[in-house]
Amino acid sequence: MSKLAGLHINVGGVSMETPVIIASGVWPMNPSLWPKGSLEGVGAICSKAITLEPRAGNRGNRLRETHSGLLNSIGLQNGGAVSFIENDLPALSSSGKPVVANIAFETLDELRMIIERLNSCRDMIGAIEMNVSCPNVSMGGMAWGMDKGSLERSVTAARSLWEGPLWVKLSPQAPSIATAARICETSGAQAVVVGNTWLGMAMDNDREEPFFDRVFAGLSGPAIFPLSLRLVWEAAGSVNIPVVGCGGICGPEEALSMFLAGASAVALGTGLFLDSRIPSSTCEKLSEHMKRRSIPEIKDLAGRGRHFRRLQGGA
Ligand SMILES: Cc1cc2nc3c(=O)[nH]c(=O)nc-3n(C[C@H](O)[C@H](O)[C@H](O)COP(=O)(O)O)c2cc1C
């Protein structure tokens, strides 16, 4: 029997051989840089954020390791939508895996123009993933995902323009992840990705000033896993569309926990810097767990940890 037996899944309109996705921003667009064997067990690859025009990204320091995570202030560095279509999309597609196009926009007009461009290569794109952690200029730069009205307007607009699968990657800082996930569902999203990096900061003690030019930076990696798991639990309890668990998954046990909490798939980011073989070891772990519990298909694993016997609530 194949190692991947039972792992095939359709997540929000995307058919994947396994439920393990490479998260946005951590995977080289150049296939010659992909570590040998690292695509084993990967079900889909997400692109770096795509903006309408090319972006140089943030100035100054961009990365800083913490005891249990990584702070990044890369910004939205990318070649823009046209370059994505001409260069990155063919490169990512050469993997044979569905490509998830992560898009970032500051106005609804930008959103429309990016989607119009992506519509020209609709067949090569598995899904659009809206990155709603990026700023909405009409709201003074507050992230789209932080405000119910902006979230609803942006997802509704994307839905009316894009005929393919539409996912929304929520900000973990949203006032209520359950409400945000419900808004995405009712506005036409087919899956929500929960979540993204958490805002943190670092100080340069020698210079007595913030380490990053933009002061705050996104924290990812092991430190955020319990926070992400809680968000996945909350989101999965409030919507009927699939939830993709993302944030701090650095090994197979964490991936399994995400499924038990209600995720239908997982996205791996920083963990891949530590070990590029996590997709493969995650698939092995999931298969083994399913076999032991006589679970025939991965879709039946999602949410199994929600039916617990202990009383919920306080002591
Ligand atoms: C270096 C780096 C670049 C990232 N770039 C993007 C991006 O362009 N778009 C996006 O939605 N998320 C981006 N992310 C967030 C990741 O996709 C992921 O949601 C986040 O890091 C949490 O998962 P992790 O703890 O497994 O890394 C980036 C993360 C890192 C570390």
Token reading at 12: 């929000």
74 CA to centre of ligand 1 in angstroms: 10
What are the two backbone dihedrals, phi and then psi, of residue 96, each rounded to the nearest 5 degrees?
A: 80, 0
How far does residue 2's CA lie from ligand 1's centre (Å)?
Answer: 31
- Between CA 206 and CA 209 the distance in angstroms is 8
Q: Is residue 208 part of a domain?
A: no
Q: Which atom from ligand 1 is nearest to the alpha carbon of 193? A: 19
pLDDT at 137: 82
Return the residue whose CA atom lies nearest to atom 4 of ligand 1.
Answer: 25
- pLDDT for 140-193, tens place per residue? 889 999 999 999 999 999 999 999 999 999 999 999 999 999 999 999 999 999
Confidence at 314, pLDDT banded by 50, 70, 90: low
**Rounded distance between C-alpha atoms, residue 28 and residue 20, angstroms:** 17
Domains in the chain, number = 1
Residue 67: inside a domain: no
49 lines ligand 1 (CB under 6 A): yes
- For residue 56, the tally of other CB atoms under 10 A from its CB is 9
Active site residue 184: no
pLDDT at 310: 67
Structural domain includes residue 68: no
> Is ligand 1 within 6 A of the CB of residue 74?
yes
**Using a 6 Å cutoff on CB, does residue 268 contact ligand 1?**
yes
Is 259 part of any domain?
A: yes
- Give pTM, 2 decimals: 0.96
Which atom of ligand 1 is least distant from the CA of 196? 19
Residue 31 pLDDT: 95
Q: Ligand 1 pocket test: pick from 73, 84, 130, 197 the residue with the most ligand atoms within 8 Å of its Cβ.
A: 197
Query: Which tens digits make up the pLDDT trace of 18-76?
Result: 999 999 999 999 999 999 999 999 999 999 999 999 999 999 999 999 999 999 999 99
**Residue 234, phi-psi category: left (phi > 0), alpha (psi -120 to 50), beta (remainder):** alpha
Per-residue pLDDT of 85-126, as tens digits, reads: 999 999 999 999 999 999 999 999 999 999 999 999 999 999
Q: Is residue 38 part of a domain?
A: yes
How does residue 209 score in pLDDT terms, banded at 50, 70 and 90?
Answer: very high
| 220 beta partners | 70
In a domain, 162, yes or no: yes
Q: What is the pLDDT of residue 259?
A: 98
Query: What per-residue confidence (pLDDT) applies to 281?
Result: 97
What range does the domain containing 266 cover? 9-57+77-196+221-306
Q: Is 78 near ligand 1, meaning CB less than 6 Å away? A: no
Give residue-wise pLDDT tens across range 233-250.
999 999 999 999 999 999
Q: Which pLDDT score, from 0 to 100, does residue 2 have?
A: 67
Nearest ligand 1 atom to the CA of 267 is 26
Is any atom of ligand 1 closer than 6 Å to the C-beta of 72? Answer: yes
Tell me how far apart the alpha carbons of residues 57 and 34 are, in angstroms, rounded to a whole number. Answer: 23
Q: Alpha carbon 70 to chain centroid distance?
A: 16
d(CA 118, CA 127): 10
Q: Is residue 28 one of the residues assigned to a domain?
A: yes
Does ligand 1 come within 6 angstroms of the Cβ of 270?
A: yes
Q: What is the CATH number of the domain that holds 281?
A: 3.20.20.70
pLDDT for the residue numbered 312: 60
